Amino acid sequence: VLKLFKLLHRTRQEVFKNDTKALAAARQKINEEFKNNRDEKSEEKINELLKIASDVEVILRTSVIQAVHTDSDKIVLVPRKDLLQDNTPYLDKPTKK
């Protein structure tokens, strides 16, 4: 549980780097969720909560991207290495080998 708690906070710091509002909101939500379920005794429920937390960490790491307003009508995306993936181009008719 503690390992996952720390992993979520490290992921939060990486995903929301230089965004103090998002960092604070994510910190509060992570701490609140773990605190609300601190007294849970059921092993089944604990495993379910751990699975949810693990899924949240994966989604944060692989799906959330930062955007920065540069002008009133422009936004610059700030991708992380975790988000950059090789892309296979779409072909209407696959080539035969």
Q: What whole-number percentage of the chain has pLDDT above 90? A: 45
pLDDT at 94: 67
pLDDT for 55 beyond 70: yes
pLDDT for 35 beyond 90: yes
Q: Do 30 and 4 form a contact (C-beta atoms < 8 A)?
A: no
| pLDDT tier for residue 97 given thresholds of 50, 70 and 90 | low
Q: Match 């379920």 to its residue by tokens.
A: 37
Q: Please state, in angstroms and as integers, the Cα–Cα distance from residue 81 to each residue in 8, 15, 18, 27, 40, following that order.
A: 18, 11, 16, 22, 36
Tally the C-alpha atoms within 13 A of residue 31's C-alpha that lie toward its C-beta.
Answer: 6
The whole-number average pLDDT for the span 15-37 is 92
| pLDDT tier for residue 36 given thresholds of 50, 70 and 90 | very high
pLDDT at 48: 94
Contacts 24+ apart (CB under 8 A), 8-15: 8/53, 8/56, 8/57, 8/60, 11/57, 11/60, 11/61, 12/60, 14/61, 14/80, 15/60, 15/61, 15/64, 15/66, 15/80
Supply the pTM of this predicted model.
0.73
Residues 77-95 have pLDDT tens digits of: 877 777 766 777 777 776 7
